Structure 1
């Protein structure tokens, strides 16, 4: 990414090398300037037609222009360019087929990837684990808790992924602290480190399960030396301290005496985001008066002791080791699917996924602390 203002301004060196090789192959294959000119003419006119249709959509959806103005623009310029395009179609058999073939291949690649990604996300949403299923497992999730911290990577910002239940079914033991990590890229150039982690607790305290949404801008790079694990542990500790403070305020401010002697009741409110020790975290919003704000610093002995115990347990689990757990999913079209869906999922999308870098490589996860969980998605 080369721009701090626009998301789509990118530079990919491999694309330049691919274009150079393609130009050399076309020149060596045609060996005549007339056929190269025909291919160039079809490409230019086709780009003009597509640009006109896209600009009409921008006028309607982005600029909110008058519909009459947008359709008038499309009718005038679109008809002229379609007329030009119909004339260059006579040159398709004389070299004009090259840009059409290249465009068709690129369209197929983009469509297969988009279709497969949407089907995968839809499957994960439909099969995510409910909180009720987790609560019925018991205080220790109904299984052995291993020392250390387990980081489950998921693309879901809400809910527990199905890979977690699949993991528990085949391996009935989990780490003492579980954190579901969801990495999201925002349409901004960069995200400050103090705003990178959004944390929330899942279930009661004895479960020691958290959700962490890690936010990156399009110019933020994953590096080996960015100390991701250390930053995440600090954010967890800050969240625990903040949660303990809010619980202390809850106990002390149920009925707060205001300056005029009246009583003010403060009930539960929706979740909020706050910054503690430089980390943006979530918690429960508390309605506070001037006297109750000053009481935040005075934690009850019980909440202070619980905070110290939980932070000490977090440090101990960190010393025991951190394991990064990632899903290694295989997508298959279910039996009875149509011809197009079978080939789009089983062939097109599966082939494109094999060409992509693994998530562990993108996030620079060390191999000695990586655990892959295999699962088949029957779409």
Structure 2
């Protein structure tokens, strides 16, 4: 029996403080409950993990790293945004103020305001389209693969429902979603669409940098850095360069203010946006595709959330990145008031003479680093989709023991590099690549808005009028205005994201379909309890010493492969564990909540059902580590089961080959 002084095995409920007879009587009332649910009910949250608070030193360290990882794309957008808005000429002088006003409000409303809300929809610290989907799956049964058995809902990081004024609305929406198979399929397809778009961004971002001859090798150089050092060390290596780049943006911006005046700051008045569209008409609407280039890399902030933390990303963006790029755009506008013909090469033309070559070198390095944001995001979301059965098996390398969300995938790394080179060779110019880039950026934003609206309605239970206001405003801005604008460039390069997305969705959709069908087959053909009873009494079966493991993804029942195994090898180990590796739509599960057990009848033959639950960002570890954890948890379960069911019986022990103590057959 376990030592009552041992904190790991001691049960701290009030019933344990009673005498043996009272304790057995109290537990006897629970014996009709499935032992998995009983075991899950004993779990206490450790309070650790992604949800725990970080100290300020760690947060500031992550914020500094995030500058080198997350903001390369967003920080280098001043290189080409004005050229994307005015591909020919500026025209009327007030057009410049209107374009600057659009840029300012686009940065404030999208990366700052909207993604402050989106960050709150993280799934235990993980971001990206799949994190939004899995967050929904944990509260609504919309997953195509069953994953909400009672023992799963007992996890500490599942939230229980509490009554509220919005509960009736939540139940209505949830019922509609759960009862409609087409809605479940559409929701998954939209998730795969957003994921495919982000993966495609991981190709186009390095490609824009590589379109210049000096940058052609940037994907290869960058991927080698990530391979050798990982996100942690790459962040510290690249952050000083990006910080210097952002300081240069501020310095050049203020230089242009001093040289050409502060008159462009009138652009904070949205009056200039209204007159901009009145004056330019259709050309003004088409120019929105260039305006959105000022927010490229915004989705990377959310996709890379697992590499850092919400607070670290918010600090680095609000106090370092956003002020830098706002000053840079205003400074370029001030320069263009005096040199409107330089719009195609505004940034380099606006650099003061002595600073040109140092700035040029830093700009080249910043362009190389710019690909890191989306590449890191691609690694994160592929890891998520891989664990949820939506992507072919690839090797995932965790590059940091301190921050487990930092991952590297060699096969994807090399595939992205090859795809970047093909895009550069095929499109040749940044203008055509930019047309393709705009569609993907806006498409991911639209998908994020739609999924966030569902989360606001069902999980957060936000006031319905606030949800309508949010969806109405961002729906008009992103879907009606910006997305229709970038679609106008479909022939000039916008077709690339559509083709690539269809290809990726095909791969991910087929893989998920096969995963679903396999699970469904095992569910429909699982072995009955009657078969196990007959098998235990069959004299032809040889019982050998040791412990045997039979793996499956079934939560309840024995997989159909078991009878086939026994018919060919009529031998069973003295201890048989039917092991189910259960992937849940949460990012991490504590070790205490990982292993759940039940006896398989007849009990005297020592057959156990074991569910190993883990999140999509958990590390299972080596075979030796896993076996050690399994044995320790199994022995702990047997001790507790013995205390519950046979507390008054004489304890007998036998060597089970595990070095532990188990009840002998009665």
Shorter-chain TM-score above 0.5? yes
Q: Which of 477, 485, 498 is matched with 1:87 structurally?
A: 485
Distance 1:161 1:119 in 2: 14
Residue 313 of structure 1 aligns to a residue whose secondary structure is: coil
Alignment of 1:270-349 (within 5 A): 300=649, 303-305=650-652, 308-309=653-654, 312-315=655-658
Alignment RMSD: 3.1
Distance 2:407 2:628 in 1: 31
Q: Which of 590, 603, 618 is matched with 1:191 structurally?
A: 590
Q: Is the 8 A contact 2:443 2:483 kept in 1?
A: yes
Q: Does 1:13 align with 2:370?
A: no
* Deviates further, 153-162 or 43-52: 43-52
Match for residue 70 of structure 1?
467
Q: Does 1:149 align with 2:547?
A: yes
Match for residue 32 of structure 1?
429
Distance 1:244 1:101 in 2: 60
Residue 136 of structure 1 aligns to a residue whose secondary structure is: helix
Residue 446 of structure 2 aligns to a residue whose secondary structure is: helix
Distance 2:616 2:539 in 1: 37
1:230-283 deviations in Å (ceiling 9; x for gaps): 44334333333333333343x5xxxxxxxxxxxxxxxxxxxxxxxxxxxxxxxx
Shift of 1:304: 1.2
Q: Is the 8 A contact 2:547 2:658 kept in 1?
A: no
Q: Is the 8 A contact 2:635 2:660 kept in 1?
A: no
Q: Which of 438, 454, 458 is matched with 1:61 structurally?
A: 458
Q: Is the 8 A contact 2:546 2:658 kept in 1?
A: no
Q: Does 1:246 align with 2:644?
A: yes
Match for residue 113 of structure 1?
511
Distance 2:621 2:575 in 1: 25
Residue 137 of structure 1 aligns to a residue whose secondary structure is: helix
Residue 507 of structure 2 aligns to a residue whose secondary structure is: helix
Gapped runs of 5+ residues in structure 2?
1-48, 52-123, 128-305, 307-379, 381-405, 662-666
Shift of 1:226: 4.5
Distance 2:582 2:539 in 1: 28
Structure 1 residues 148, 110: closer, same or farther in 2, change over 3 A?
same
Gapped runs of 5+ residues in structure 1?
252-299, 319-379
1:70-128 deviations in Å (ceiling 9; x for gaps): 34433443244333323332321211111111222222222222222222212211111
Structure 1 residues 118, 67: closer, same or farther in 2, change over 3 A?
farther
Distance 2:477 2:539 in 1: 67
Match for residue 439 of structure 2?
42
Q: Is the 8 A contact 2:620 2:626 kept in 1?
A: no
Structure 1 residues 98, 184: closer, same or farther in 2, change over 3 A?
same
Distance 1:101 1:214 in 2: 39
Q: Is the 8 A contact 2:551 2:579 kept in 1?
A: yes
Residue 535 of structure 2 aligns to a residue whose secondary structure is: coil
Match for residue 571 of structure 2?
173
Q: Is the 8 A contact 1:191 1:217 kept in 2?
A: no
Residue 580 of structure 2 aligns to a residue whose secondary structure is: strand
Distance 1:16 1:211 in 2: 39
Q: Is the 8 A contact 2:435 2:490 kept in 1?
A: yes
Q: TM-score, normalised by structure 1?
A: 0.59
Distance 1:207 1:22 in 2: 56
Distance 2:435 2:587 in 1: 41
Q: Is the 8 A contact 2:580 2:610 kept in 1?
A: yes
1:185-210 deviations in Å (ceiling 9; x for gaps): 55364523x55432221112332211
Match for residue 135 of structure 1?
533
Distance 1:56 1:172 in 2: 56
Residue 95 of structure 1 aligns to a residue whose secondary structure is: helix
Distance 1:217 1:202 in 2: 26
Distance 2:631 2:612 in 1: 13
Distance 2:561 2:501 in 1: 37
Shift of 1:18: 4.3
Tell me which of the two structures has the higher relative contact order, counting C-alpha pairs closer than 8 angstroms and 6 or more residues apart.
Answer: 2
Structure 1 residues 100, 216: closer, same or farther in 2, change over 3 A?
same
Q: TM-score, normalised by structure 2?
A: 0.35
Distance 1:162 1:225 in 2: 24
Shift of 1:152: 0.5
Structure 1 residues 230, 102: closer, same or farther in 2, change over 3 A?
same
Shift of 1:157: 1.9
> Which has more helix, going by share of residues?
2
